A and B are shown apart, each in its own frame.
Chain A
Amino acid sequence: MKISKLLSVILGFTVISASTPYSTAIAVTSNGSGLNVSMNNTSIDCLPNYISQAYDMTNVVEVSDLDATDEYSITFLNNDGTYSLLQFMTPIKYYDSNSNSYRFIDNEIVTSKETGYEFENKANSFSSMFPCSSSDGVVFKDSDYSVKMIPVSDNDNSADKVVSDYNSECEYISYGNVYGTDTDLRYYIENNGLKETLVLNDRPDFSTYSFELQLEGLEIKEHSGSSIILYDIETGEETLKLNPVFIQDSSDYFNTTYNNTYSVEAIDYNDYLVTVNLDAEFLNSDEIVYPCTVDPTIYYTRMGTLSGSYATQSGNTVLSNYYQAGSFNGVGECITYIKVNGLENKKWLNPNNILECIMTFKDCSAGYYNSGTITCYDSNSILNVNNVSYSQLVSALGMTIDSVAVSNVDCYYDFDITYLLKKWISNQIGQGGFTYNYGCIFRGDSTLLGRRAYSDGTTYHPYIEIKFTRDYTIENGIYKISSASNQKYIQNNGLSQNVTATSTTISNSGKWRITNDGDGLYTIQPYDDLSKYLYVSSTNANTNLTVSSSAFKWYITANNNGTFRLMPATSASVSTAATYSSGNVILSDYTNANDKNWNINLLYFANVDNYFDNGYSVRYGETNNASQAILNGYMEAISDRYRELLGLDFIYSTNYYNSGVDQCKGTVTSSNIDSLCGHTSNHTGYQSVKSSFISDSSASNTLTAAYWTGHKIDTTGMGGVYTTSYNRSFSSGYRIYMLELCNSTNREYNSKSVLMHELNHQYGAPDHYHEILADGTCRGGAICSVCGSNPRPSTCIMCQGRMDITSDNVICDGCKGQMITHLEGHHIN
């Protein structure tokens, strides 16, 4: 078989994966640690240039670990608290089984460690190895299969590493004059594979080029056509694709042809001769300016999140790393059609929290400098990216989404597709919208000469940026979680046991501590064993939810109807959510069905009405409005802690109150604020204060009335103490009396402490500080931290009184237990 002088081979290999491209990376953990893989080198300084240079990092604070295990995306935390998720067309990370971690892809060409090869790519899930001599064949392989490509040629040329003329960061391997004089083979390492380009420096004598394709783990079934599929031998799945080929000349107008075909002949088992038949008429045309590029010749790619193509007026559908709009010589107008795939894996996003979505392209339209407009349209039809026609796209043009004026080349253009993304996400979660399968269409205005946006696969990667805020609806606290379908509570059944939902009655094992990790993700811990976490061993459907020692994280996203969806947050790409299933809780693909939605409620509720008088405002030299705001601040701080410690939903109000002491003094001033009442009824005595407040305020076993004053109050004799005292705060019945006087320095600290101490009394906690009463007994009794026979810790606020209420041990276990018993009595939410 003489196939010398055969020419240009134009292939495009595309992985067509039937399953999600993300599951593989998650499943390939090497040490049995399930989903606990990590991301290495995620500091901003370690980002690859193709990210840090393409994206404006000005407002980036840090790299979030939100999508550490997602190969196609990276998320930044911005300085305004929002997040920006960049979703790329090609993978930017790969799973490194040696370190059980994810790393950024590095396409640098380095000296090969493999015997018989001169160069190889530095870091990716696949290896591309280049021999010294082209006749030894370039190898592309990953863990499942390999492809060896040997040009069929009498010439045998050595490999050179070359830096691209147009991009100093882009390297390639060049084999010169492989198919005769003036025919060079070039190999570019890309994030998603290996691209081979044949450069015809002068008009060739022939228009067919052949190479031998040695496959391992793959086979070819078709033997001719504009594209060829390579199938996985074991699974039968379409794995690689030799894409349609195009040739482009060096004129200013990019003369282009797509009239090229493949023919394949089996030589041996898994050994094929592949011939590319180029458009001879095009190559021999006098209008063609050489060199011509046959591009891409060999192109291996995995399906990314963005998929797109452009259709030419002349009738071709072009799948490549180029997107084109406007008029091109030889093919007429080009219209680009793009789908943002993978949104079924973004169901954890709340459409209401999406601030912006931008699709960014880099213009590389060398030779075209006229200005014009490119418009992004919604598509009215669901079209096939792989086989869409020009007329279909024209017919499908829908609502205008964004129009962008283009002028300069070699710069970035942004299209705002926020509207579309919200609709697409809403549709995914069953809350209206429409499917992302409609995609969007990019078309130039009628005068626009051809514009080309592209990815060179090595140094520039198109992406969409989704800017969003995290869903913080759930605040740190103790909650009960019940199915929206039947109100049955999720229940812990112990380490590694499946959690269940069998009862509409809450028990201790049905209480869960939910904690925001600060990055918008949540841990969910069984309250009866806070060393454990709600867990799934896989994000696959039908996986049971269990409890593990691993600090597993979840997305908790609010639905429009007040329920929530719980999704494992091992990746930014996840579609499954906790689902009620016959008494068990499993993962299943999220839809907005009741069995996949959950009610998340704090365990208990309590109300507090605050009353402050003029004595309070005058004491601290502020207006009534200022006092109200300050007291609300104290209540909010207490509310946070009660939610975290007890699962108590705290509802409060704060209002001015014309107290008995205020009335006694008439006009309250700093001069009379420390005066004691001389009336018979002793308005500044604690008993008068108490009786007055009882008659003026409402209170019940779920409503505490709190009186705040800055007047000097005589509390001598209060609480069984015989010594003189003033302004001792106390709790009595359904009311608390916040009498303690502070200064500007200690006011906030002391007020919060005393407030929590007295409110703890309202919910059943006893004092356990040491104080000998008039009868010789200790106030703390048996639990006194100092003298009791069964002392409670001194670090509890029921002993210390004034302490940092945010400290972990602010309420000791004993007091907490008593409070829960009390709350269980009549504060159930």
Chain B
Amino acid sequence: MKKSIVFSFIIASMSLLITGCSENRTATTTNSNKAQINMVDGVYSAYFDDYNDLSLNLIDNLTEINENLKHTEEETSASILQFINLIEESDLIKVPQISGENLKLRQKEDYYSISVETKDFYNRPWIFYGFDDGDSNSYVKITNISSEIGQLDSDEIYEFMNAMDPIPDDGVFYPPYTEMYEETIDMNDKSIDVLFAKRDNDPRVYANFIYDDSMVIICCSEENIESGFLNEFGLGNLELK
């Protein structure tokens, strides 16, 4: 009940912001000047400078995005709304950690450290966390799959990805990976099955796994994986502000 009241209040606040805004852009920010909503060719995303920015603005920005497309893109709207609800239920955002500390984000001019992309695998929002990894464009992306795991009654990554493939009978694995193999990795205090893969014309490695109720894809250099990056990896909880 309490959650509903809070959510309604946010919606109302957003409406005021949109209608009362004197700037001629739809991308409005809420609690911070940093976070930014972007829309290009009908595709919405939200950018954040750091973890604090994310905890302050994630819900507001996703809510605003949902308001903008709920009448035109029902599937996307529904997945965003589900994403919001899952976070609000816990008041926590899953964030990547190394040895118990939040992953150090990249600080690169003209590139955002954290973004939420609404048109990604399985037509659901994913949160991207960019990090420094030599010359590679490396990131960890995370999405909540707790409901799907419940339906599948399995946390096998390969099984999950097959089940989520939007076109399961086309003979193409989704996402379009090559050189796939599975390996069990001691990850922090857990033993996790990781599906490693590569993509054409891309030197990076993709490590796909399910961690608690989240699906995680790490895209980074092969050297980084070989140096034991995954052994120190874990997910932490960032409280909503």
Contacts and interface: CB of A to CB of B under 8 A. Distances in A.
B121 A776 contact: yes
Contact of A787 (B74, B176, B219): B219
Contacts of B128: 786-787
Interface in B23-43: 23-27, 38-43
Interface of A: 715, 719, 721-730, 745-750, 757, 767, 769-772, 774-777, 782, 785-791, 793-795, 799-802, 809, 812
Contacts of B137: 787-791
A364 B47 CA distance: 74
B161 to A, nearest CB: 10
Nearest to A772: B120
Given A723-B119, A775-B172, 14 more contacts: A727-B72, A745-B21, A749-B24, A769-B41, A771-B43, A772-B175, A774-B167, A785-B111, A789-B136, A789-B201, A794-B110, A800-B40, A801-B43, A802-B38
A805 to B, nearest CB: 12
A728 B117 contact: no
A746 B41 contact: no
A802 B201 contact: no
Most buried by B among A750, A788, A794, A812: A794
A647 B191 CA distance: 58
B112 A794 contact: yes
Contacts of A771: 41, 43, 117, 119
A450 B64 CA distance: 83
B47 A794 contact: yes
A786 B75 contact: no
B123 interface: yes
Given A770-B120, A802-B27, A715 B42 contact: yes
Interface string B203-217: 110000000000000
A789 B202 contact: yes
Most buried by A among B25, B42, B110, B174: B42
Contact of A730 (B24, B41, B72): B41
Given A745-B21, A789-B202, A802-B25, A776 B172 contact: yes
A809 B109 CA distance: 11
B117 A786 contact: yes
B157 to A, nearest CB: 16
A713 to B, nearest CB: 11
A715 B69 CA distance: 14
20 contacts: A719-B41, A723-B75, A724-B73, A724-B75, A725-B42, A725-B72, A725-B73, A745-B21, A745-B24, A770-B115, A786-B117, A787-B137, A789-B137, A789-B203, A793-B110, A794-B47, A794-B112, A799-B38, A800-B38, A809-B110
Contacts of A725: 42, 72-73
Interface of B: 21, 23-27, 38-43, 45, 47, 72-76, 110-112, 115, 117, 119-121, 123, 128, 136-137, 139, 141, 166-167, 172-176, 201-204, 219
A802 B41 contact: no
Most buried by A among B39, B76, B136: B39
B25 A728 contact: no
A43 to B, nearest CB: 34
Contact of B39 (A724, A767, A770, A802): A802
Most buried by B among A730, A746, A767, A793: A746
A789 B110 CA distance: 16
Given A725-B72, A749-B24, A757 B204 contact: no
Contacts of A769: 38, 40-41, 43, 45
Contacts of B117: 770-771, 786
